[in-house]
């Protein structure tokens, strides 16, 4: 099953937000997920198992370098035209 997730990563207690967010999104891209960055949130699509396992690994790696909050909304009813397969 394919899903689409809207995600927002918030690095805490740092003046430089871009490094943590960039590393996080790069990890998702490297795993083969379709990532569409936005100004306030990003959209990630792919197989449900790949999305959840990759998101967990990317969060753990990012959290090792500093405190972060991840907000994620996941849907199997919002297909991404680039990544959706029947």
pTM (predicted TM-score) = 0.85
Residue 15 has what pLDDT?
Answer: 86
Q: Domain 2-75 adopts which CATH fold?
A: Alpha-Beta Plaits (3.30.70)
Q: Using 50, 70 and 90 to split pLDDT, how confident is the model at 17?
A: confident
Quote the strand ranges of the chain, DSSP E: 2-11, 34-36, 42-47, 68-75
Q: Using 50, 70 and 90 to split pLDDT, how confident is the model at 80?
A: low
| Nearest C-alpha neighbor of 4 from the set 85, 54, 82, 75 | 75
Residue 2 has what pLDDT?
Answer: 92
Task: Give yes or no for residue 85 having a pLDDT over 90.
Answer: no
Rounded Cα distance between 78 and 60, Å, is: 27
Q: Where are the domains of the chain?
A: 2-75
């Amino acid at each position: 099953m394919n899903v689409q997730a809207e995600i927002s990563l918030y690095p805490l207690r740092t003046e430089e937000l871009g490094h943590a967010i960039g590393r996080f999104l790069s990890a998702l891209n490297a795993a083969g997920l379709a990532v569409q960055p936005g100004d306030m949130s990003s959209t990630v699509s792919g197989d449900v198992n790949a999305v959840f396992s990759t998101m967990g690994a990317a969060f753990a790696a990012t959290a090792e370098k500093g405190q972060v909050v991840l907000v994620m909304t996941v849907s199997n009813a919002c297909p991404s035209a680039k990544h959706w397969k029947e």
